[in-house]
């Protein structure tokens, strides 16, 4: 928050400050995907949930992250706090942070968007996220935790596996073998799902090849 209710990126070198501001604050009570792209000390682009909300001249480069690091001032590579003790700390939660060596394109930034909280008028019954299917050592759980309501968790059948990086995309996922690996839910009593009512199904899927299915 820049003090006026706008989400803002700011970078300072000496007495010079450059920034990009959105016309809104970050949404309250929801996960927000925030991305900043800096291109060759020329242009900065600020994205909120995959949408480019601000573009402008950003000529200051974050040289303390560069190699070789030539700045003699002590590094201040902090998460959730400003460069000085008098600046505010971030009050909220952070799920994941990535820093790349170059600017991502609009389409790449859209692909990396994480799962969003449901904002519709219906009921979100099934909300399965790959990171809830295995532990940190990549051991796949017997049950895949469902963050949705009423349906319950899903049980592993066969040998689905978990990876933090599907085919070099940088995205975690559950890998299925096309033969016996699957997940199953025993709850068949919800009319919205088993009946003829309206519904929406949404899946992020990675197809490694064109094959008979």
How far is Cα 194 from Cα 198, in angstroms, rounded to an integer?
A: 11
How far is Cα 109 from Cα 152, in angstroms, rounded to an integer?
A: 32
- Nearest CA to 66 among 28, 40, 105, 27? 40
Most confident stretch, 95-99, 104-108, 137-141: 137-141
Give the residue-averaged pLDDT of 134-140: 86
- CA distances to 7, 73, 83, 190 from 10, rounded to whole Å, are 10, 19, 11, 49
**Higher pLDDT, residue 128 or 63:** 128
Q: Is the pLDDT of residue 116 over 70?
A: no
Peptide bond into 128 cis (omega under 30): no
- Nearest CA to 34 among 14, 61, 53? 53
Q: What is the mean pLDDT of the chain?
A: 81
Would you say 44 and 20 are in contact if contact means Cβ atoms under 8 Å apart?
yes
Residue 149 has what pLDDT?
Answer: 82
As a whole-number percent, the residues of the chain with pLDDT over 90 amount to 20
pLDDT tens for each residue of 47-62: 988 888 999 999 988 7
CA 77 centroid distance within chain: 21
- CA distances to 7, 10, 14 from 61, rounded to whole Å, are 20, 12, 12
Q: Is the pLDDT of residue 196 over 60?
A: yes
* Confidence bin at 108 (pLDDT 50/70/90): confident
Would you say 209 and 195 are in contact if contact means Cβ atoms under 8 Å apart?
no
Per the listing, tokens 């994205």 go with 47
Residue 154 has what pLDDT?
Answer: 93
- Nearest CA to 178 among 163, 201, 160? 160
* Confidence bin at 140 (pLDDT 50/70/90): very high
Give the residue-averaged pLDDT of 28-45: 86
Q: Is the pLDDT of residue 152 over 60?
A: yes
Give the residue-averaged pLDDT of 111-121: 63
């Amino acid at each position: 928050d820049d003090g006026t209710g706008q989400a803002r990126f700011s970078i300072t070198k000496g007495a010079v400050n450059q920034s990009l501001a959105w016309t809104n604050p970050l949404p309250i009570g929801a996960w927000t995907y925030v991305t900043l792209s800096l291109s060759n000390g020329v242009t900065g682009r600020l994205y909120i949930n995959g949408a480019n909300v601000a573009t402008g001249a950003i000529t200051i480069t974050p040289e303390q992250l560069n190699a070789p690091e030539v700045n003699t001032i002590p590094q201040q590579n902090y998460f959730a706090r400003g460069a000085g003790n008098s600046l505010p700390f971030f009050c909220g939660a952070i799920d994941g942070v990535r820093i790349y060596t170059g600017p991502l394109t609009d389409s790449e930034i859209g692909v990396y968007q994480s799962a969003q909280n449901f904002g519709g008028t219906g009921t979100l019954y099934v909300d399965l996220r790959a990171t809830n299917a295995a532990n940190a050592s990549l051991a796949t759980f017997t049950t895949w935790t469902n963050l949705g309501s009423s349906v319950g968790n899903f049980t592993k059948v066969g040998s689905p596996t978990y990876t933090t990086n599907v085919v070099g995309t940088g995205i975690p996922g559950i890998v299925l073998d096309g033969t016996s690996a699957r997940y199953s839910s025993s709850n068949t009593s919800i009319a919205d799902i088993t009946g003829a009512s309206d519904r929406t199904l949404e899946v992020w899927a990675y197809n490694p090849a064109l094959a008979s299915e």
